[in-house]
């Protein structure tokens, strides 16, 4: 399913409700255009509240996320001080 991101405080933010299970996702425009297509650089799992680098123009790996308890989650994509995008 697709979820629209909104701009908040200089970051792109999506709020999603997820049930228990394993998920894969990426952050992209509808055309998966280079410059706005972010995936995992290594295919590693995302942990709650731990920033990971989001590789731009990366068609190789989705982010992986395991949900142990159903809840509302917030996904943030923002540039860090080194102009690298972080996903939290």
Q: Is the dihedral of CA 16, 50, 20, 2 positive or negative?
A: positive
Distance in angstroms (rounded) separating the CA atoms of residues 25 and 85: 16
Token reading at 67: 């949900």
3-state secondary structure of 32: coil
Q: Give me the torsion for CA of 32, 34, 35, 39, rounded to 10°.
A: 60
Per-residue pLDDT tens over the stretch 8-46? 888 899 999 999 999 999 888 888 888 888 888 888 888
Q: What is the pLDDT of residues 70-80, one digit of tens each?
A: 999 999 998 88
Q: What is the pTM of this model?
A: 0.82
Q: What is the CA radius of gyration of the chain?
A: 12
User: Which two tokens mark 49?
Assistant: 């509240």
């Amino acid at each position: 399913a697709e979820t629209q991101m909104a701009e908040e405080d200089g970051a792109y933010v999506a709020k999603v409700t997820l049930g228990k299970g394993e998920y894969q996702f990426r952050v992209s425009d509808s055309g998966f255009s280079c410059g706005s297509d972010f995936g995992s650089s290594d295919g590693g799992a995302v942990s709650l509240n731990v920033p990971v680098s989001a590789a731009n123009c990366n068609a190789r790996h989705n982010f992986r996320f395991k949900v142990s308890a159903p809840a509302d989650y917030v996904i943030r994509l923002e540039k860090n001080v080194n102009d690298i995008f972080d996903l939290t």
